[in-house]
Amino acid sequence: MGNTISPGVLRLGRVSESKVSRDLYTALFTCRKNSSDFLGQARVDAKHGVLEIEMFNDVFFENFSVSRPQVLEFLNEKILKLMVAAGHILPLFLEPVATMETADLSSQIEDESSVQAHTHDLVAILSRLNRDHFEGKISAKICWGRESGSKNNRSFRFGSYDHRSKQIRIHPRLKQAFVPESVLELTVFHEMCHQWAPPRRVRGRGCYHHAEFKSKEREYPRYKEAREWEKSHWKKLLIPPAFKRD
């Protein structure tokens, strides 16, 4: 599917570091497509392994026969490679990713059959965490995301939260037996924190994991245990279950 998308000629431009943190920066890039140059920006949160792509002109997407999220996903991968090649992205970027937020989650559809097949009840986890740690104030829907069936390259998105629809999605690979309960719970907790401590603009830039967010996230009782596991095992999550031999 991805192979059929041609992104045009990509050129990486100026990189601006954030004044807040060395882990946050933006890079401009141009994409020459059908004889037009389109300007885009990559926002990088190196600490959390998050790379977000934004195109400044929506006309850009009219050059493709596939959906906007597919174009963005493809661009994301290409830009990531360019940035690694240019030395902008340090090995830190390859560390575990708490989550990645994208504005476009429309391509992700729940897989009802696998929800029922699994004993982990996301709604129960969310309700319990809400009662014990959020004063019952979180109002959100939760479901498993869809298994893409393909290998992730460099990062793994544990979950996501869409502020508009108040929808939390949890990566279906967290259903696997080797994933500790604390990791699944922390992922749900993390996404709930996004509603509790919404993104802020920090020096003109959207910041999701700001100080207040992080301090709330650490209230999860098994935070350290879960993070330790993520650090040493996250690579196992890059591979779809069907690809594994064991």
CB of 158 to Zn ion, least distance (A): 9
| Residue number with CB closer to Zn ion (73 or 162) | 162
> Whole-angstrom Cα distance, residue 108 to residue 92?
27
Out of 99, 102, 155, 182, the only residue in the binding site for Zn ion (CB under 5 A) is: 99
CB of 155 to Zn ion, least distance (A): 13
| Residue number with CB closer to Zn ion (76 or 99) | 99
Cα 216 from chain centre: 19
Q: Both tokens of residue 211?
A: 């100080």
Cβ-proximal residues to 22 (8 Å cutoff; 6+ apart), any chain? 46
CB of 228 to Zn ion, least distance (A): 19
| Among the listed residues 224, 220, 230, the one whose alpha carbon sits nearest the alpha carbon of residue 128 | 220
Which range, of 33-41, 93-101, 131-139, 236-244, touches Zn ion by CB under 5 A?
93-101
Minimal CB distance residue for Zn ion: 99
Strand duo 167-170 + 159-162: pairing: antiparallel
| Residue number with CB closer to Zn ion (33 or 163) | 163
Which range, of 29-37, 59-67, 92-100, 136-144, touches Zn ion by CB under 5 A?
92-100
| Residue number with CB closer to Zn ion (29 or 234) | 234
Compute, in degrees rounded to 10, the torsion defined by CA atoms 211, 212, 216, 218. Answer: 10
CB of 209 to Zn ion, least distance (A): 6
CB of 210 to Zn ion, least distance (A): 11
Q: How many residues bind Zn ion (CB under 5 A)?
A: 1
CB of 154 to Zn ion, least distance (A): 17
| Residue number with CB closer to Zn ion (63 or 195) | 195
Interaction of residue 187 with Zn ion, rule CB under 5 A: no
Which range, of 27-35, 67-75, 99-107, 132-140, touches Zn ion by CB under 5 A?
99-107
| Residue number with CB closer to Zn ion (70 or 99) | 99
Q: What are the residues binding Zn ion (CB under 5 A)?
A: 99
